[in-house]
Amino acid sequence: MIRNLAGWVGASAVRIGKLWVPGRHTETVLANYTKQTFCLTGHEQYPYSFLGSATAVRFGDRFFLLWCRHQTKEFAPNDVTIPIEGGKTLVSGSRLLFVNDDESSADEEYKDLHAMEFVPENYQSPNLEAAFFPLSEADVWKGNPDANFYLFGYPTQLRSVDYELPHVHVQQVVTTGEYAGLSHARYVHSLKITGKGRFTQDGMSGGPVYHIAKDGHGFFIGLVGIMVRGGNQRIYFIDVRFVLSLLRSA
């Protein structure tokens, strides 16, 4: 993991949803909400395809996985899974949400956003709920370009898969970004990656962008958006305010 978040926060307590955690633990807690997708291929020798990142959020009393349609367009929704129970079990969601493809969205990137709902009682996992980021509307990014941005994801180049052993090793990165402006596409913004460490942005799609802000009670973490594409040390993300509109439609 490329570490720089804890150093910025220092020893301060940070609120994530309603939970207060020591600043030095913030990265570890947030890392749990970013998932490596395991797409089931049905092939006996090569059973999985790893197609980037995804973000698990809890919105009210409902649980969703967010990612981009272009990542998994060759797979049925039931074949898009994430690991739980320390990576021992793969689970898929119960219901797929997507943006209707009509004339108003014909050339828009925001329709790339997908959400899959997970119903906890459908899984034999007592800790499933802890794997979803508590998404609070009050804490989300409101468009401030001077915010402190942090990005989580699983770059393709930091993944090693050996089916003969068998062995799967994936590395999550955490890095910083600064606001670079609105995209020409609706609800899409860009960030310039500023953190240490060099990696290509392939595989980061579907991962979260967070901001750290401060209110009268102290520091807190809020969701900024979901990464949709990147390259040349730039990341483009779908605004969290559009993400909320999709989740409300459920």
- Averaged over successive runs of 10 residues, the pLDDT of the chain (250 residues) comes to 52 87 91 91 83 93 94 90 80 87 72 92 83 95 95 79 61 89 92 80 89 91 95 92 92
Separation in Å, CA 184 to CA 90, 91, 112, 125, 189: 37, 36, 15, 42, 9
Helix (H, G, I), strand (E, B) or coil at 120: helix
Largest Cα–Cα distance of the chain, in whole Å? 55
Structure tokens that stand for 135 in this block: 């998404």
CB atoms within 10 A of CB 13: 15
DSSP class of residue 193 equals: E
Fill in the DSSP letter of residue 102: S
Q: What are phi and psi of 44, to 5 degrees?
A: -65, -40
pLDDT score, position 3: 45
DSSP symbol at 79: G
pLDDT given at position 99: 83
Each residue of 175-184: b (16+ CB within 10 Å) or e? bbbebeeebe
Domain extents in the chain: 5-248
pLDDT at 101: 73
Say how far apart CA 221 and CA 236 lie, in whole Å.
Answer: 20
Nearest CA to 6 among 33, 28, 24? 24
Neighbours of 127 (CB within 10 A): 10
Q: Pseudo-torsion of CA 80, 81, 82, 85, nearest 10°?
A: 180
CATH of domain 5-248: 2.40.10
- Residue 232 half-sphere exposure, CB side, CA atoms within 13 Å? 1
Give CA–CA dist 37/56, Å, rounded.
11
pLDDT computed for residue 46 by the predictor: 80
How far apart CA 52 and CA 47 sit, in angstroms, is 16
Identify the pLDDT of residue 164: 59
Q: Beta strand pairing status for 113-118 and 62-68?
A: antiparallel
Contacts 24+ apart (CB under 8 A), 161-168: 161/48, 161/50, 163/45, 163/46, 168/48, 168/50
CB 29 within 8 A of CB 76: no
